[in-house]
Amino acid sequence: MQDTTAVATKDPGAFNPADLMGLEFWLGIGAVALRVIIIIAVALFIIGLVRKLMLRWRAETEDLPAIDPRRQRAFTVSNLIMSATRYVVWTMAAITVLSEIGLDIGPLLAGAGIAGLAIGFGAQTLVKDVISGVFLLFDDIIHVGDLVTIGSHTGTVEGISLRLVKVRKFDGELVMIPAGDLRAFGNKSMGFARVIVPIGVSYEQDLDEILEVLNEIASEWAAVPENKEVMLEEAPTVQAVTNLGDSSVEARIVVQVIPGEQFPSERELRAMIKRRFDADGIEIPFPRRTVYMRQEPDPPARSIKQSLPPAEDGDTE
């Protein structure tokens, strides 16, 4: 009987502890480690380069006032670009490192795609706010320190991010408004502002005389050096007649000024008008109403006979 000897076949993919002593194994490990180090070094270089460029952009606007649009745009957009660069570069570096060490990244990418799709459907409002915030920053139509009206809220912008705009109202309330809700809003800090001071004149007063007084007040206000610095026109304009009201004839003083200076200018003009009207004896009208009393005549008296219903047949005695 012939003995048969079983010959064990060696699996080429099986780990053999003896390979740890081989030069080829360590050369492979070293090559992989070198490629990983190069990938990390390239990622750090790209992030550092972007950061250096953004800091240089900031430095160019560092001396500008804090509310200057160029300085605000540089600081806000540079933060956005640096954050986005870190996320994108480190994500790509991690995927490349996993591929280099021999892991199959196909299922990982497929799972990430499915997860991203699910998150996208579940966070549509968040994605809309972020995208709107990006365009809001690049459109350069709103800045920190601007006086804005968004819906029913009017206040000063205290912060702008990718998702939120923070508005501080006059009473101190801080309103958080998602960027996706900024479909229409007003900005009172761009270009110029207009001082508008309406004045009511009594119907019994001489209109031409009062308009002359208003022109003198406007010229006196414009002659103040501090007011000249905020004016964007040569002189205020007195406009009349803007309305025929129930109890007054309305005129107004208007002038273009630097944004943000319209409110103190209006207060100063109103104070000057009040003092001048008091000095000249000009009446500031108040609401009036004329009531006509009418008395209805008494109705004619009705007799008892007229008030009784007519008698029917058979009712008479």
Reply yes or no on whether the pLDDT at 241 is more than 50.
yes
Does residue 2 register a pLDDT over 50?
A: no
Residue 47 has pLDDT above 70, yes or no: yes
Confidence category of residue 255, pLDDT binned at 50, 70, 90: very high
Indicate the pairing of strand 249-257 with strand 237-244. antiparallel
What's the CATH number where 57 sits? 1.10.287.1260
Q: Which residues contact 230 (CB under 8 A, 6 or more apart)?
A: 257, 258, 261, 265
Q: Read off the pLDDT of each residue in 294-316 and give the average, rounded to a whole number.
A: 62
Domain boundaries, position 207? 193-280
Query: Domain for residue 148, yes or no?
Result: yes
Q: Is 299 inside a domain boundary?
A: no
Last residue of a domain, one of 187, 204, 221: 187
Q: Give the number of domains in the chain.
A: 3
Residue 317 within any structural domain of the chain: no
Q: Does 4 map to a domain?
A: no
Has residue 2 been placed in a domain? no
Q: What pLDDT does residue 123 have?
A: 67
Do 178 and 246 share a domain, yes or no? no
b/e 2-12 (16+ beta carbons within 10 angstroms → b): eeeeeeeeeee
**Peptide linkage before 127 cis (omega within 30 of 0):** no
- What band does 18 get if pLDDT is binned at 50, 70 and 90? low
Query: How far is the C-alpha of 26 from the C-alpha of 39, rounded, in Å?
Result: 20
d(C-alpha 276, C-alpha 219), whole Å:
13
Q: Scanning the structure block, which residue is given the tokens 């048969």?
A: 4
Q: Are residues 166 and 221 both part of a single domain?
A: no
Q: Is the same domain home to 105 and 37?
A: yes
Closest alpha carbon to 286 in 221, 203, 213, 212: 203
Q: List own/partner pairs for 157-161 with CB under 8 A and 24 or more apart.
A: 160/72, 160/76, 160/133, 160/136, 161/133
Q: Reply yes or no on whether the pLDDT at 25 is more than 50.
A: yes
Element containing residue 123 per DSSP (H, E): none
CATH label of the domain that carries residue 219: 3.30.70.100
Give me the mean pLDDT over the 294-307 stretch. 66
pTM, two decimals, is: 0.59
pLDDT tens per residue across span 97-112: 888 887 777 777 777 7
Q: For the ranges 52-56, 97-101, 132-136, 302-306, which has the lowest average pLDDT?
A: 302-306
pLDDT at residue 315 greater than cutoff 60: no
Q: Please tell me the distance from the alpha carbon of residue 256 to that of residue 251, in angstroms, as a whole number.
A: 17
- Identify whether residues 146 and 171 lie together within a single domain: yes
Residues 95 and 172 in one domain: no
Has residue 238 been placed in a domain?
Answer: yes
State which amino acid sits at residue 79.
Answer: N
**Same domain (yes/no): 50, 95:** yes
Helix, strand, or coil (residue 159): strand
Question: Does 161 lie in the same domain as 227?
Answer: no
Q: Which residue has the higher pLDDT, 215 or 161?
A: 215
pLDDT, position 14:
53
Mean pLDDT (the chain) is 81
CATH of the domain at 143: 2.30.30.60
Q: Could you tell me if residue 142 is left (phi over 0), alpha (psi between -120 and 50 degrees) or otherwise beta?
A: beta
Q: Taking residues 13-21, what's their average pLDDT?
A: 55
Confirm whether 76 is domain-assigned: yes
Residues 111, 181, single domain; the answer is no
Same-domain status, 146 and 224 = no
Is residue 4 predicted with pLDDT exceeding 50? no
pLDDT, residue 6, reads: 45
Question: In this predicted structure, what is the pLDDT of residue 159?
Answer: 80
Query: What is the pLDDT confidence band of residue 173, given thresholds at 50, 70 and 90?
Result: very high
To which H or E segment does residue 199 belong? strand 193-201
Roughly how many angstroms between the first and final C-alpha of the chain, as a whole number? 157
pLDDT digits (tens, 9 = 90+) for 192-235: 899 999 999 888 888 999 999 999 999 999 999 999 999 998 88
Q: Which of 24-38, 66-80, 213-227 has the lowest mean pLDDT?
A: 66-80
Q: What pLDDT, on the 0 to 100 scale, is given for residue 88?
A: 87
Q: Is the pLDDT of residue 72 over 80?
A: no
Domain end among 280, 295, 312? 280
User: What are 159's strand-pairing partners?
Assistant: 166
Whether residues 245 and 270 share a domain: the answer is: yes
Q: Please tell me whether residue 293 adopts helix, strand or coil conformation.
A: coil
pLDDT above 50: residue 171: yes
Considering the domain architecture, whether residues 56 and 104 belong to the same structural domain is answered as yes
Predicted confidence at residue 5, as pLDDT, reads 46
Q: What is the mean pLDDT of residues 158-185?
A: 87
CA 242 distance to own-chain centroid:
34
199 and 183 in one domain? no
